[in-house]
Structure 1
């Protein structure tokens, strides 16, 4: 079974006002330090997944991880369990809900673009697809059409 799973990181920084007070600078510094810590945790998570047999890229500009190779369910489950404590999404219910919504949008887009068997995400596990889905003749074109929903890219505009 192939895996198309996403473990996106959602980091939102909202700054109000345009002033340059010490309080604003302090808030910016704290937010930057928090983001750096989250980025480091995501890289550690990717390294752990690789050490446990998954082909995973480091987090991209959009903050997400993508398992790029095919993984057998047993290998995936073992890696996810071994790296559970490093999962940047662990304990972040808001980010998890946003990530799952993104994956639902991606699944709907894939189906709309001809990959009728593309599954919805499983709560807490991401999207798991079988070989027949990957081998669907419409898969590559649909993946390209739906890339705005891909977890490792910043969200862009679109008609979907």
Structure 2
């Protein structure tokens, strides 16, 4: 679902936190709106390369950023493989609204987790970060969680590995 190139732990965590959070929000209140076609679906279920998947995801992220800006919020166009870096409750809410409008992000076959699995992962990550002294609100299906500005890359790595 994400590019194999790792820019920084913070960038990766932001993408990993934001994407499931937005997916969870969409799944929780989906009205059956438009859905993007994943490369695996577009090719009739054939295997797709990581490059094709990354390109599809990058295009989706650009479309999502444009939609969020259209709702009056300041987000930059995401760099390839990084996803939207800005995060706040307002941006997350706008992202959820935009996902209802533009559909789900493309995913490779077999990578979609249930809401409960994604929420459980977020809870584990939040608990780990709290154990390291960070104050973070409880994640929910609708909102996910917002990463504290002062979190270190080392703490992110430790909590993502657990």
Q: Could you state the TM-score of these two structures normalised by the residue count of structure 1? A: 0.49
| Greater RCO structure (CA 8 Å; 6+ sep) | 2
